[in-house]
Structures are given as structure tokens and as C-alpha cells.
Amino acid sequence: MEFDLIEAIRARSATRREDVLLGIGDDAALLRPPPGHALAVAVDTLLEGVHFPLGTAPADIGWKALAVNLSDLAAMGATPAWALLSLSLPRADRRFVEGFLDGFMALAEPHRLALVGGDTTRGTLAVSVTVHGFVHEEQALRRSGAKPGDAIFVTGTLGDAAAGLACLDRQRDDADRLLTSAVDSRKALIERLNRPSPRVAAGQWLREVASACIDVSDGLLADLGHLCKASGVGASLDVDALPLSSALLTLFADNARDFALTGGDDYELCFTAAPEHAARIVADLARQGCGAARIGRIVAEEGVALHDADGRRVTASASGWDHFRT
Amino acid sequence: MEFDLIEAIRARSATRREDVLLGIGDDAALLRPPPGHALAVAVDTLLEGVHFPLGTAPADIGWKALAVNLSDLAAMGATPAWALLSLSLPRADRRFVEGFLDGFMALAEPHRLALVGGDTTRGTLAVSVTVHGFVHEEQALRRSGAKPGDAIFVTGTLGDAAAGLACLDRQRDDADRLLTSAVDSRKALIERLNRPSPRVAAGQWLREVASACIDVSDGLLADLGHLCKASGVGASLDVDALPLSSALLTLFADNARDFALTGGDDYELCFTAAPEHAARIVADLARQGCGAARIGRIVAEEGVALHDADGRRVTASASGWDHFRT
């Protein structure tokens, strides 16, 4: 063994929490959940070439592996607490592990998330993270609470990560011919792909006001579809209200809307609330920094229907991203 | 998509527990930990060709993926409660998933373990399971409590799983030439490899009496070494006291002891206790069915030293199994 992977990880798991009785180094972690809270638990696995492109920097992989999981906690309105990491690597590669932990910890620390356990094994590059957070049972944001008449919102901007992936797929020659503004846009989109910002603070704020919530990992149409199905309702979406970044509009003016509707990996929150809360939601989330746009309303009829600002029906070109799409 | 993997898994996650507020189907599971207990959490990932041989039956993979994790809870003295499953498959293969769940649930149900969440993705076959259990904080079995003078014990028998793997590695021709008794032994050893029995009840019983505990996943020498290191002590092992199965002795009379010392994947518990408890431990665990053998004692000097029944020093040929051994 070139070096002790688990020791390297333990040495970096610096976040101290009083509720961690026993962290990395025994058969299991021992944790003390706070009384009166529910425990929110999620796991997501990232595979090279599926969830991040070949050649992604180790620090970006570490960041993203945690971000996609924190996004699940955000969608429940939960406060992050603990994570376990299962890391599969072709070889015990110190440089990779240190870089990975740089990215992982850069996101863990501001959230006071402690890395409390995990395992390492030799195999194709794969990262599986399990996260735990706390939320009062009656305040947890579920997918199933949307009601006809509720307004639909989404945080941040949509489609950027998928556009970032499209930028990476293009030939390098293309990039060289770009104007400076386009170079900056390209960089911004790839940053959104590699370093998504889980909307943890927004999710916690939404506990007071949202009727249902989901994070946008597979694309807005797919994920809003999941929310509607869980709630037994449908949605009417105004495609002209979709929040689009200037970077996306700069590089993909013709198909920005398609990216926003069906692109995966944005990790924004899509949520519903009674329409009387709309002004407060938009104002408060703008103040928080991520922003929120009102993009439609919940209807009784099942399915997600699209219209433009003039009320004309619109058809989407695909319905999101699916790891097992054939 | 050939069929909805997550729906298939949800349909099979039948164990109902009142402390599961929200299971498979939202962004995270919502769970209610019992007041006054610590939460024991462990994750283990199994990869094809590393943790189980190519061609292992799906039901055996499902059983083993849960068993290795329940073994971690057993080693803490914890009572199992919830699991999350992250499943990576080359394609959405219904037959594989149904078989996998047959094995997983066959072990989950007697332990009243609920499958509460997870994810599925397309990639090389890999299974990552996160398990949660409960244990009173002051009763949890740690690796770090062994003291010089403590007796060392191990449950069940050692070396069977590694011998089972050796049986699989041999040519099929060999098997055809075996006597009936040898065929039965071969079957028993392979069963131990594919369907390990996590010592959950023994671990809970040991909360009252053990000073330290670890499960034997990498081999006795390696894992006892971990326990000693965590406790700041050493061990003196009597190799003639190692519990060996008749199947192991039938097929591997010449190197049974090496299998017992260094073979991985047994998932027995190795633990220490004050010597005055020895008779009670051996008697009570025999009554429980798994049995326990006293195999040595903890000493102040670091390292694991071996001797035979006559007190002569013995040298082992290897020091256990390591996923990153180079």
C-alpha cells in the first residue's frame, strides 16, 4: 500500500461536532441525533463518465459528490450534520485523494458538516456519499404537498450545468475562437457543472412557506414531474419565466430554453407555495443571494404543460435526463 | 428505460417500522431516532471481482452487501434499523434486481431492517449499503477498550470464506474428482463466502461483557491488529485454539491455520473481555448457536505474537487481506 488512505481521510476530517461520539476509525460511527428532530438521510453515487466527465479535477469531484447530496438535504429543508464517504479508486493515489478532499472539505466546512466514516476500495473511480441532516418532522419539505392553485418557483438559474457539459463536449478549437465574453461565459457554465451550489440556506428558509419541494438534478421537466406525481397534481409552466443566466444566453441563445427545461445537474430547488407568499419568496431569496423565479402554477390535471408568456402552448424537446435511458 | 428500478426496489422494501416517517421516493428518507440512544452508522461498498467473484448469484450479492454492513453494526453492539442502497448496474436488468432483492431482503427481514432510500445508476456492477443501528452510548462496543490481561475471543469459525474462494478458483475438474464428503465441505465453504452470517445477536449480548470488539473482514491478524492499535496494546494468540470448521479441515488440512489467520470475509466478531467472564462467554454464545473460542490474551507489548499450544512461537505467512495491497 502506497499510503494509508483511511488515515489520510481521517486526518482531513477536521470539522468537530459535539454530536459525533466516534468518527472515522471504528466499525461504525457513533452519532447523537438531537432530540425532537427527524433525521433526513440521502445517498448519491457519482461515477466517472456518467456523473462527471473524464478528466474532471479531483477537487471538483470531491465538491460535487458532496454538493449533490447536500442538495437532497436542502430539498427536505434539513440542516446538514454528518457524511460518510465510500471511495473506489483504481489505485491508492495520494494526489487524487488530497485533491478530492480539498474540494469535499471546501464545501463541508461552511456547512459544519463532519465526515464521520466510510470505506475505500480498489475499483473503477466511484464516489458514494451518504449525508445526514436534521429537520423538525412537521417542517420537512416533501414532494407530496403541492395543491392546485399553488405557485411554482425555482431558485437560481436553470440549464447552466448541461450547457457547461456541452461546452466541454465541443472541440477545443471552438473555444480558441471564442470572444472574451464567450470565454468567460464558457468558464461560468463549466463552473456550474463542476461546482454546483446546493441551496441549503434556501431550503431551510422554505420550511416556513413551501408546500412541496424537490431539487433539480435530472432536469426541470423530469423533477417537476416527480413532484407533481407525488402530489397527485399537474403543472402549467411559463417557459418565458424560466430564469436563464447571461452565460447561457451568451453561448446558447437558440436553445437556452431547452437546456433550462431538460438539462440535468443544476441542483436548484423547485418548490411550490400558496400564491400570496410569492412576493415575499422572491424578495427574501433575492436577499439571500440565490434568487427565485415564479415559473408557473399547479393545476389539478396531471402532467406538466408548457406555455409561453402569451399563453400559447409550447412543446419541449425531451423530458430530462435519466441514467438508465435506453 | 426497461423498467423503473426505484419503483421495483420500493415495492420490495416491505419492512414497516414506525420510526420511518418517509421511505423511498423523496429527496431523502425521514427517520425518527429513538431518544437516549446513539446512532451507529456504517457504509461498505462491494465491487464485482473484488468483494465477490464474477458470476456470483444476484441473491448472494444482495445478501452479502447487507451482511458485511450488519457485521459492522454487530461489532458495535448496535441493533439494526435502517439501510440505504446505492446500486450501480451496467443496465436496468429486472432479473438481476429481483434476485438481488431476494437475497437482501432475506437477511433484512429477520433483523427488522427497513430499506428506506438509495439511488440507482448505470455503471460497472457496484453495491454500496449504508446501515443505521441504535445502541446506548455507554454500551457501544469500540475497538479501543482492550486492556492487558483481557482474554481474546472469536465467534464461529475462521478461514472458511477464504477457503471457499480458493475452492472457486480451483478448476471445475478438481471438484468432479472429490469424494462426497469433500463435495459437501466445498459447498459449505462457498456458502460461508457468499452468505456470511453477521453476528448481530452476539454483538448485542456482548455489550454487557466485552471490553473491545471488531469484526473479522480482512483476516484475524489484520483485524486483531486494528483492535490492538486502537487500544494501545498487543496480543498473544494461541494458533492451536483457532476455531476451525470440519469443512475447512476436510479440504485444507495442511493450511487451515493460514486461512484462519489471514483469510478475509469471515465476518465473525473478535472481542476481548476480562478473563473471569470467559466461561460465561463460551457457554452463552454456544447456547446462541454461533459459539465463541478463547484464542489468546491481550499484552502490553504492541503487535500480535503467535504461539502454539505448547507455548512455542509461530510465524504467520501473511498479515491479512487489503484492498489496496500492492
Interface of A with B in 58-87 (CB under 8 A): 71-73, 75-76, 78, 82, 84-86
Grid coordinates representing B131? 446501515
Q: Quick check: B3 pLDDT over 90?
A: no
Q: Which amino acid is at A166?
A: A
Are the C-beta atoms of residues B113 and B78 closer than 8 Å to each other?
no
Edge-to-edge order in the sheet of strand A38-47: A114-122, A79-89, A126-135, A38-47, B29-31, B20-22
pLDDT of the residue at A54: 87
- The string of pLDDT tens digits covering residues A57-82 is 999 999 999 999 999 999 999 999 99
Q: What is the mean pLDDT of residues B214-223?
A: 96
A42 neighbourhood in chain B, CB within 8 Å: 27-29, 84, 117
Among A14-18, A308-312, B280-284, the range of highest mean pLDDT: B280-284
**Record: contact B42-A21, CB cut-off 8 A:** no
- Residue among A21, A10, A19, A27 at smallest CA distance from B143: A27
Other C-beta atoms lying within 10 Å of the C-beta of residue A255: 15
Please give the share of chain A, as a percent, with pLDDT higher than 70.
Answer: 93
pLDDT digits (tens, 9 = 90+) for A139-156: 999 999 999 999 999 999
Single-letter amino acid code for the residue at B189? L
pLDDT tier, B2 (very low <50, low <70, confident <90, very high otherwise):
very low
The strand ranges marked E within chain A are 20-22, 29-31, 38-47, 79-89, 114-122, 126-135, 151-155, 212-215, 234-238, 269-273, 292-299, 303-307, 313-314
Higher pLDDT, B198 or B176: B198
A292 touches chain B (CB under 8 A): no
- pLDDT of A108 > 90? The answer is yes
Sheet with B79-89: strands ordered across: A20-22, A29-31, B38-47, B126-135, B79-89, B114-122
Q: Are B193 and B228 spatial neighbours (Cβ–Cβ below 8 Å)? A: no
- Across the interface, of A31, A42, A323, the residue whose CB is closest to B121 is A323
- Please report which confidence band the pLDDT of residue B174 belongs to, taking 50, 70 and 90 as the band edges: low
Asked if residues A153 and A272 have their Cβ atoms less than 8 Å apart, the reply is: yes
Residue A79 makes CB contacts below 8 A (sequence gap 6+) with: A73, A133, A134, A135, A200, A204
The confidence score (pLDDT) of residue A317 equals: 60
- Is residue A177 over pLDDT 70? no
Q: Taking a C-beta distance cutoff of 8 angstroms, is the pair A90, A122 a contact?
A: yes
Close Cβ partners of A262 (under 8 Å, ≥ 6 residues apart): A162, A219, A220, A221, A222, A316, A317, A318, A319, A320, A321
Q: What is the DSSP string of B58-109?
A: HHHHHHHHHHHHHHHHHHHTPEEEEEEEEEEESS--HHHHHHHHHHHHHHHG
Q: What tens digit of pLDDT does each residue of B260-302 get?
A: 999 999 999 999 999 999 999 999 999 999 999 999 999 999 9
Check whether A316 has a pLDDT greater than 60: yes
B180 vs A50, which has greater pLDDT? A50
Q: What is the pLDDT of residue A132?
A: 98
pLDDT of residue B1 exceeding 50, the answer is no
Of B38, B49, B46, the closest CA to residue B73 belongs to B38
- Give contacts of A32 with chain B, Cβ < 8 Å: 38-39, 137
pLDDT of residue B15: 67
Average pLDDT, integer, range A169-190: 77
Over residues B75-93, the mean pLDDT reads 95
Is the predicted pLDDT of residue A114 greater than 90, yes or no?
Answer: yes
What mean pLDDT value characterizes chain A? 92
Cβ-based contacts of B71 with chain A (< 8 Å)? 27
B265: helix, strand or coil: coil
Q: Has B258 been labeled as part of a binding site?
A: no
Of the candidates B263, B261, B72, which has an alpha carbon nearest to the alpha carbon of residue B164? B263
**b vs e for A135-171, b when ≥16 Cβ sit within 10 Å of the residue's Cβ?**
beeeebbbbebbeeebbbbbbbbbbbbbbbbbbbeee
Contacts of A133 in chain B (CB under 8 A): 28
What average pLDDT does this structure show over A200-222? Answer: 97
Beta carbons of A25 and B51 less than 8 Å apart: no
Burial annotation A210-245 (CB, 10 A radius, 16+ → b, else e) = bbbbbbbbbbbbbbbbbbbbbbebbbbbbbeebbbb
Q: According to the model, what pLDDT value does residue A11 have?
A: 84
Whether residue B211 has pLDDT greater than 60: yes
How does residue B324 score in pLDDT terms, banded at 50, 70 and 90? Answer: very low
Identify the bridge partners of residue A251 per DSSP, sorted by sequence position: none
Closest-CA residue of chain A to B144: A26
In chain A the domains, ranked by start, together with CATH numbers, are 5-139 (3.30.1330.10), 151-314 (3.90.650.10)
Under the banding of pLDDT at 50, 70 and 90, the label for residue A227 is very high
Phi then psi for residue A319, to 5 deg, are -120, 40
Cβ(B273)–Cβ(B151) under 8 Å? yes
The mean per-residue pLDDT over the stretch A254-261 comes to 94
User: Looking at residue A326, what is its pLDDT?
Assistant: 32
pLDDT in the model for residue B181: 76
A325 pLDDT tier (thresholds 50, 70, 90): very low
What per-residue confidence (pLDDT) applies to A6? 78
Contact A117 B41 (CB under 8 A): yes
Asked if A6 is an interface residue toward chain B (Cβ–Cβ < 8 A), one would say no
- B28-69 residue pLDDT tens: 999 999 999 999 999 999 998 888 888 899 999 999 999 999
Residue A121 is nearest to which of B28, B47, B140, comparing CB atoms? B47
CB A87 within 8 A of CB A123: no
Run of H or E residues at B30: strand B29-31
* Cβ neighbours of B181 (radius 10 Å): 12
Cβ pair B41:A116 closer than 8 A: yes
Task: Compute CA A83 distance to the chain's CA centroid, rounded to the nearest angstrom.
Answer: 16
| pLDDT higher than threshold 60 for residue A318 | no
Alpha carbon distance B19, B11 (integer Å): 19
Q: What single string gives the DSSP state of each residue in A204-241?
A: HHHTTT-SEEEE-SS-HHHHHHHHHHHHT-EEEEEGGG
Choice between A169 and B318, residue whose per-residue pLDDT is larger:
A169
B145 known ligand binder:
no
> Which pLDDT band holds residue B322 (cuts at 50, 70, 90)?
very low
Q: Is B31 on the interface with A (CB under 8 A)?
A: yes
Tell me the helices (H) and strands (E) count for chain A, helix number first. Answer: 11, 13
pLDDT at A88 exceeding the cut of 50? yes
What's A249's DSSP letter? H
Tell me the pLDDT band of B172, cut-offs 50, 70 and 90: low
Element (H, E) at B24: none
